[in-house]
Chain A
Amino acid sequence: MDEDAGGIVLFVGTIRNQTNGKKVKGLEYEVYRRMAERQIAKLEKEIRKRWPIKSIRLVHREGKLKVGEVSVVVAVSAAHRGEAFDAARYAIDRIKESFPIWKREKFGGGRYAWAKGTPIQSRSASAPTTSEPQTSPRGIVRRRTRSLVEA
């Protein structure tokens, strides 16, 4: 906790029980881990540059998940709520459009289908591509760990 933060915005994405009127039993995320981890670090850095936030943490699950389980978490703290909401909204939008993540939905009768996606966006206008600090891998959590936040 930052004592100079006035609030935390938390977005928690969960697995819905239907898609386009079809009942979903669960789903499976496939992640290009090496690329996604770099992008998480890059996105956190970009957001810190754009908004005067105190801290940010992005986590996305990988592997098989059941209905109701958590798939993604965005947590942002800031001195004031405005920048925390704006930064969190930006983060989840970017995760959806620019991260190398795919999902296969499981329907009744053991049928699976790939969810319709959009071409990956590479809009990283201000993000530098070199000399990023080499942080330890973070942000993508495999199902078997069962934990949302890495140590």
Chain B
Amino acid sequence: MIRVRMIYFAQAREAAGTKGEEFSLDKQSTVKTALSKAFEAHPKLRPLEKAIKVALNEEITQEDAPLQEGDRVALLPPVVGG
């Protein structure tokens, strides 16, 4: 098993009801595995699924990216800086 840190921002944070949490996942897990678990744990996140981009250790990533112990997976709703 590996442990990864899930981080939720803005609307995702509100939908999940938490800023973040730790997931224990199988060794062969990908970003998609972590996302599925997040959507399962927090059904209110589901409506955001299409709009969300994911950062793996602070870099935008794809769903098939493999996960390692200690990785940070952040759910990023559409952004609006400035």
Contact = CB atoms under 8 A, between A and B. Distances in A.
Between B7, B74, B82, the greatest number of chain A beta carbons within 10 A of the residue's beta carbon is seen for: B82
A115 B79 CA distance: 9
Q: How large is the interface on B (under 10, 10 to 19, 20 to 34, 35 or more residues)?
A: 10 to 19
A97 B60 CA distance: 13
B44 interface: no
Interface of A: 13, 29-30, 32, 34-35, 38, 60, 71-72, 92, 95-104, 114-120, 122, 129
B64 interface: no
Contacts of A122: 53, 59-60
Contacts of A98: 79
Contacts, number: 75
19 contacts: A13-B82, A32-B55, A32-B74, A35-B58, A60-B81, A60-B82, A72-B81, A72-B82, A95-B81, A97-B79, A100-B55, A100-B79, A101-B81, A117-B77, A117-B80, A120-B53, A120-B79, A122-B59, A122-B60
Given A72-B81, A95-B82, A120-B76, A129 B59 contact: yes
Given A35-B74, A100-B55, A30 B80 contact: no
